[in-house]
Structure 1
Amino acid sequence: MRSLKAKPEFLLTPAAMARVDGAAARSGIDSYGLMLRAGEAVAAAALRLYPQALRYVVLCGPGNNGGDGYIAATALSRSGAIVELFSLGDASALKGDAARARADCELAAGAIELYAPMRGDVVVDALFGAGLSRELPDAAQAAVRLITDADLPVIAVDLPSGIDGLTGSVRGKAFRARHTVTFMTRKPGHVLLPGRMHCGSLEVFDIGIPWRIVEAEACALHINDTAIWADHTPRASAEDHKYRRGHLTVLSGPETATGAARLSAEAALMAGAGIVSLASPATALAVNAAHLTAVMLTRIDTASDLAVWLSDSRRTTFVLGPGFGDLDRARQFAIMIGEAGGRLVLDADGISAFKGRAGELQNAFGGSDQRLVVTPHEGEFARLFPEIAADIGMGKVDRTLAAASALSGIVVYKGADTVIASPDGRVAIEETAPPTLATAGSGDVLAGIIGARLANGLPAFEAACAGVHQHAQGGLRAGRALTAETLINHIMPD
């Protein structure tokens, strides 16, 4: 029986799912029975979604995904539908349950190269599933091109063929399915880009593996969701005051580049920080004062000024980088905050200040208690972690984990599939961010939201996850006319 306590949705890697299948078989569950349920679920989806199809074309691959396809073809045929079957490679080389599925299918199969699209076809893609980690074979790539050019609807079994189930990357060519049927849990390739864009609508079908077997393979890879940080969020109390809710300091750039820091500060106030101070150089005090109301304003020009500010034990949380400009001073300030025991969200110019020098951040913020959150986009990630970014064999999740380990801090690798990773191995993927967040100043708002959650007292990983989700949800509420300024008005408690 599953726990009634809310848990974040976990994703199983292809290797973990293979272990689940193996454990189910060893427990005495009929593995062919599981394949039957999977294939029949695909057939049911095809009939439900495309009852008007003139012909169902089932493409079967050389493994268990192909076995699912043979069963789907059999079920479709028994329902009275017209079915054409095509196989990739020599079907006589199939083994195990896939060979049995082929033997039980009475339909003749042609070579995939012989398929000629017809108007009214609906294609069932059972070539390769989530386990694909190599280039799609030439014959399969040719089929993808042919079907794509004909603009035929595709239903994918497990994952569209050509998508790497671990990284979401395209292996040569890949189908763009209208619908995907996967089994038991989603896989990283369903969520990470570009894989997510190839899946269409996604259906997770329970084929009957006991949940205890599935959950035994769950790792620390989750969909970003309120269940990750709910238990760490301080409850509102009548005894609360502004300092108890947390004081966040945002460090401003020069007078010609103050807007980014103000976006961070105003977002932090909306996200729930009790008090937000904008630390401004003297030359920018007037322009900042003209734009601020609830956000406090203070002067910090030099390291000595910052040292005095840090001497107040209530001032423990900072955002540094948006519009800051002076990279040497940014590096100096960040190290001072770390050595003073402060918590820091490092963004934009703050990240660029440590180009190729991530070890300095690790030295300043290292320890078992994570106090550093960095929020790079792709270009900033490459500047801060050049060797990790250059490793083409790593997907986004592995890159972010490697960066978090190298930094001994939390890494928020931004994008439409933002990945948040902790050096202890925990990972969350945000899947709800709308494309409208790709606008100037959006990242500054995110930095402020994460800073507010840190100031509230959340641990760094949970604060980063909460901030990323609040940011995405605000983007959804703001709609198509979103700008960074209007986004702030749509930040709401989770």
Structure 2
Amino acid sequence: MPHTKDDLPDALYSAAQVRGLDASLIAAGTPGFELMQRAARATWRALVRQWPAASELTVVAGHGNNAGDGYLVAVLARRAGWWVRVLAVGDPLQLRGDAASAHAEAVSENVRIEAWSGQSECRGIVLDALLGTGLTGDVREPYAGVISVINASGLPVVAVDIPSGLCADTGHILGRAVRADLTVTFIGLKLGLFTGDAADVVGELVFNDLHADPQLLEGAPTSALRLMAGNLPCLPARTPTSHKGKFGHVLLVGGDRGLGGAILLSAQSALRSGAGMVSVATRSEHVPAALARIPEAMVLGTSSANQLMELLQKVSVLVSGPGLGQSAWGRSLLSAAANAPLPQVWDADALNMLAEERVNLPKDCVITPHPGEAARLLGMSTAEIQADRPAAAHALSKKYAAVVVLKGAGSLIASPDGRLAVCHQGHPAMATAGLGDVLAGLVGALLAQGMDAFNAACLAVWLHANAGEQQGKFGRGLAASDLIPAIRQLLEEQAPCLK
């Protein structure tokens, strides 16, 4: 069955897991060549839907089953009366198995097949059937040069299964990748289509299960869960007898000199996301601004950690890090927070001090690093984090025994028990300061309202990304505070207050 956009399944797989599903389908009685034909028909239908007036197709084929899919799409285009040409990278006579059968069928249908050369010209729609999901190392020549020509052509591009050069497991571009306008993928959704560099190269994504028996998919191992409106954890609806004492008390610690706005954004987010009570511990000089902006919050001007001790006995959740800085003031406050037996959210400078081993992370914690902070926590480079974001999220969760939100394009939420969720929503306008502070306050508010750490992180990331997507439609210039009313509205739609 074809699926597009938000109709996609929620299970995500590694390349090896999808190959296992493919093998299971074959073992259950569906010949591999029949699956290849189904993939070709699915690609052809999606292509025609996307460009109904088109009549020319250039298939760029490599080796393996990805090329076999391309040859069979060329056959379908030829039968439909299109101008078709296959540009073969390498000798097609070296193809084996089902791919060789697909090539033979293209030859029998008199499809024009030419060897790729530096002078090859692409016409019409370009079908990327170069490299499949098995790619692990960087793309080498001649494929790298072919990809550059495809990207420079300015023509519409369809990728078969995955854009060539994109890692199916990590979403990392392996040196160079085809920039597709449409990607048609099969059997199981690959994790790498939803995180890292994927958003820049996948284009519109269409999924087809190739009529796989659902029973074969049940119980099969998966790599991650794709967060969507239908599978999100939910807060319970609020009954008419609700009162503030039922929804927790969040204490937010941060806002050193020159950084007061961060803790105020976080506090405003916690308040507007439903926390019953909100307190802020910050520099004394920030108290007037905090009271003017958030009069509903209880604001404590704090010069030392000793002033926190009484308040720590009264609150239910801690959020540490927004605007905390790394001076002695911030270190002392974070040390006091680390010793509090409470669910906590650590962000920003709290994570930088954690990376420097100045403090230990308490139990029941959610940490929300961006790639640079994740690199410091793991003793790696940011490039290494981005090269395998799922592995980095799992490594952080294991190292710190915490729920981890690895922020960025295709944010990842990892649990110490091995669960991984992916949120691919969002908008380029969200590339602005303060959004992490809003997210930290939101996670804290959901913890205060009774959610466990993994579910609170999943729901918070989804709300945050979708609020950004809504507000991002107005274009660049998005301010972090713009997300807060949108988050409130989305939360109410999901878990309303009953009258």
So what's the TM-score if we normalise by structure 1?
Answer: 0.90
Distance 1:137 1:90 in 2: 17
Amino acid aligned to 1:443: G
Partner-residue secondary structure (3-state), 2:344: strand
Partner-residue secondary structure (3-state), 1:193: coil
Task: Describe the shift of the 1:225–1:46 C-alpha distance in structure 2 as closer, same or farther (beyond 3 A).
Answer: closer
Task: Describe the shift of the 1:380–1:328 C-alpha distance in structure 2 as closer, same or farther (beyond 3 A).
Answer: farther
Q: Which residue of 2 aligns with 1:116?
A: 120
Amino acid aligned to 1:22: A
Deviation at 1:149, TM superposition (A): 2.1
CA offset digits 1:392-417 (Å, max 9, x no partner): 79501111110111010011111132
Deviation at 1:259, TM superposition (A): 1.6
Equivalent residue runs for 1:203-214 within 5 Å:
203-214=206-217
Partner-residue secondary structure (3-state), 2:355: coil
Equivalent residue runs for 1:83-482 within 5 Å:
83-106=84-107, 107-113=111-117, 116-117=120-121, 120-230=123-233, 233-254=235-256, 256-312=258-314, 315-357=315-357, 360-362=359-361, 364-365=362-363, 371-387=364-380, 391=384, 395-478=388-471, 479-480=474-475, 481-482=477-478
Distance 2:407 2:386 in 1: 20
Deviation at 1:15, TM superposition (A): 0.7
Task: Describe the shift of the 1:123–1:257 C-alpha distance in structure 2 as closer, same or farther (beyond 3 A).
Answer: closer
Deviation at 1:197, TM superposition (A): 1.4
Task: Describe the shift of the 1:482–1:141 C-alpha distance in structure 2 as closer, same or farther (beyond 3 A).
Answer: same
CA offset digits 1:181-227 (Å, max 9, x no partner): 11133212211131221111111112111122234334250112345
Identity among equivalent pairs (%)? 33
Deviation at 1:338, TM superposition (A): 4.1
- Greater displacement, 194-203 / 349-358: 349-358
Amino acid aligned to 2:278: V
Q: Which residue of 1 aligns with 2:497?
A: none
- Greater displacement, 107-116 / 346-355: 107-116
Task: Describe the shift of the 1:50–1:491 C-alpha distance in structure 2 as closer, same or farther (beyond 3 A).
Answer: closer
Q: Which residue of 2 aligns with 1:11?
A: 12
Deviation at 1:279, TM superposition (A): 2.0
Distance 1:23 1:406 in 2: 35
Partner-residue secondary structure (3-state), 2:252: strand
Distance 1:326 1:136 in 2: 42
Q: Which residue of 2 aligns with 1:3?
A: none
Aligned partners of 1:357 and 1:384 also within 8 Å: no
Q: Which residue of 1 aligns with 2:486?
A: 490
Task: Describe the shift of the 1:153–1:238 C-alpha distance in structure 2 as closer, same or farther (beyond 3 A).
Answer: same
Distance 2:381 2:341 in 1: 28
Amino acid aligned to 2:368: T
Deviation at 1:238, TM superposition (A): 2.8
Aligned partners of 1:12 and 1:217 also within 8 Å: no
Partner-residue secondary structure (3-state), 2:244: coil
Amino acid aligned to 1:280: T
Distance 2:385 2:460 in 1: 29
Distance 2:22 2:250 in 1: 49
So what's the TM-score if we normalise by structure 2?
Answer: 0.89
Distance 2:14 2:303 in 1: 49
Distance 1:392 1:248 in 2: 31
Equivalent residue runs for 1:51-66 within 5 Å:
51-66=52-67
Deviation at 1:69, TM superposition (A): 1.0
Deviation at 1:240, TM superposition (A): 2.0
Deviation at 1:164, TM superposition (A): 1.1
Partner-residue secondary structure (3-state), 2:286: helix
Deviation at 1:332, TM superposition (A): 4.3
Task: Describe the shift of the 1:27–1:324 C-alpha distance in structure 2 as closer, same or farther (beyond 3 A).
Answer: same
